[in-house]
A = this chain, B = another copy of it.
Amino acid sequence: MQSLLERIVAIVGEGNVLTGDDVAQRRVDWMSGASCRAGAIVRPADTDELARVMRLCHAVAQPVVTHGGLTGLVHGGEASPDELAISLERMTAIEAIDPIGGSMTVQAGIALQTVQEAAAEHDLQFALDLGARGSCTIGGNIATNAGGVRVIRYGMMRQQVLGLEAVLADGSVVSSMNRMLKNNAGYDLKQLFIGSEGTLGIVTRAVLRLQPRMTSERTALVACPDFDGVTGLLRHLGRTLGGSLGTFEVMWRNHYALLTEESGRNTPPLPARWPFYAIVESLGSDDAANVAQFSAALESALEAGLIEDAVLAQSDAQRQGIWDIREDIEGLIDNLSPLFTFDVSLPIPDMADYADALERRIGERWPEGRMVIFGHLGDGNLHVSVGVGSGDPQTRRDVEQIVYGPLAELGGSISAEHGIGLEKRDYLPLSRTPGEIALMRTLKQALDPKGLLNRHKILAAEE
């Protein structure tokens, strides 16, 4: 690797090839705090430098791992000593903003929050939002097809990308920097790189879609009498709020109760006595009209028996108080540690039975075990948190079997928004058919025949 690194230094400059302690002190997993073990970290300044680096790597079959903000949850950033990490941390430019067409052109290393703020300066919004906004990068958001709390209204990252540029394994550059909403001139190549976790190419630049900014965001917490109430409410709000429904997050009682009355960590805006709680938001431009429409929708839901009670936040503090319950990951860690978290999706009508069976099976196996659930229910996405008293790998695998096992029959997914990475790789056949996995391998082979990009992520090496 040494002579390769010397040639890479000649491209990116001495200060941009990190080795030794500069590598080890970098954390590649914010949950475990694990250190980077890559042979070196290379920080190109632009697409051209990266392309030249990749041509060198390709010539000598040097594998690489791409690093964005390192906020992933499936060990996608892990690298071994025989791999180089490619960090896009120097590629953070905003190249152009078109407020009329509604687009922003950026380098892939830029942080999500920086993009959100730049859009807001033009009275527009970038619609993707998630907790890691300050650290995660647009390139990482693209590579993982990030989700978050606004998917029900604006879709996932895939829907926010108009065009992109990627460097392939052999160092060739595919520039597909489309700026229009509509472009049917041949294959839509950007789709290959969105959500493929860096295994087919390294995203270097992107054209992002900007949306009109909604100035009125209204938040309510509601309690539902049963799961039919939850799904009935989802349909009711979809119909009555139309394009204004911005969030539909559901907490099972076990989740809500744990983080409010049981632990005392958060003040419950509603007592923890009903089986389901939903955070719903209505987005509009005229606040008075938005409040009127939202209040009427909640009132008719109450009359129809879809909800038992509701609190419409009257201040930013109240709004934050509601979200604090939903976002209190520390509360989960404190109470369920060692904590196993899961990100699954399944057809909404099957969710209640799935959750009940999960709780039962965990209780049977670990009488002291505990499971709580919240999720982006409107998107079919549940986050399952489990604590069974032990954090060892075999226990984790046992819990995984219970959580992932039923998904195959339900047509669910072992990953709604976090991706596969290394963590879920062995379970991929639960969610994808043999034909799908064969086609994934065909694509990987076609684009990266030497297997240099994010080795062993998503797909295991063929036996």
Contacts and interface: CB of A to CB of B under 8 A. Distances in A.
Interface of A: 98-103, 123, 144-145, 147, 151-153, 155-156, 158-159, 168, 172-189, 191-192, 194-196, 200, 211-214, 231, 234-235, 238-244, 283-286, 289, 292-293, 296, 345-349, 376, 378-381, 411-420, 424, 428, 431-433, 435-440, 442-443, 445-447, 458-459
Q: Which of A158, A283, A436, A445 has the most CB of B within 10 A?
A: A436
A416 B186 CA distance: 10
B191 A100 contact: no
Contacts of A123: 239
A158 B447 contact: no
Contact of A183 (B289, B416, B433, B458): B416
Contacts of A147: 182, 184
Contacts of A432: 176, 185-186
Given A239-B213, A435-B175, A100 B349 contact: yes
A270 to B, nearest CB: 24
Nearest to A196: B187
Per CB-CB distance, the 8 closest pairs between chain A and chain B, nearest first, are A243-B243, A191-B191, A212-B238, A446-B446, A180-B380, A182-B416, A185-B431, A180-B345
A292 B289 CA distance: 10
A151 B436 contact: no
Of the listed residues A189, A231, A235, A437, the one surrounded by the most CB atoms of chain B closer than 10 A to its CB is: A189
B212 A178 contact: no
A180 B346 contact: yes
A146 to B, nearest CB: 9
Nearest to A438: B172
Nearest to A155: B159
A144 B436 contact: no
18 contacts: A100-B235, A100-B349, A101-B380, A145-B184, A147-B184, A156-B182, A178-B413, A181-B380, A182-B345, A182-B413, A182-B416, A185-B415, A185-B432, A187-B196, A212-B242, A241-B285, A242-B285, A446-B446
Given A100-B349, A145-B188, A174 B413 contact: no
A180 B231 contact: no
Copies of this protein in the complex: 2
Contact of A417 (B184, B235, B238, B447): B184
A57 to B, nearest CB: 18
Contacts of A437: 186
Nearest to A289: B293
A60 B292 CA distance: 67
B243 A180 contact: no
Given A286-B240, A380-B101, A184 B436 contact: no
A81 B376 CA distance: 53
Contacts of A152: 181
A189 B436 contact: yes
A184 B344 CA distance: 9
Contacts of A292: 289
Contacts of A213: 239
Nearest to A380: B180
Given A98-B347, A183-B345, 19 more contacts: A99-B235, A100-B348, A151-B181, A155-B155, A156-B181, A175-B435, A176-B432, A178-B411, A180-B345, A180-B381, A182-B417, A184-B195, A184-B415, A185-B413, A185-B432, A186-B458, A239-B285, A286-B293, A289-B289
Name, among A184, A187, A345, A436, the residue most crowded by chain B CB atoms within 10 Å (CB to CB): A184
Contacts of A144: 184
Contacts of A172: 435, 438
Contacts of A283: 242-243
Contact of A195 (B187, B196, B286, B376): B187
B189 A188 contact: no
Contacts of A442: 446-447
Contacts of A459: 186
A284 B293 CA distance: 11
A185 B414 contact: yes
Contacts of A182: 147, 151, 156, 345, 376, 379-381, 413, 416-417
B186 A188 contact: no
A101 B348 contact: yes
A187 to B, nearest CB: 5
Nearest to A176: B436
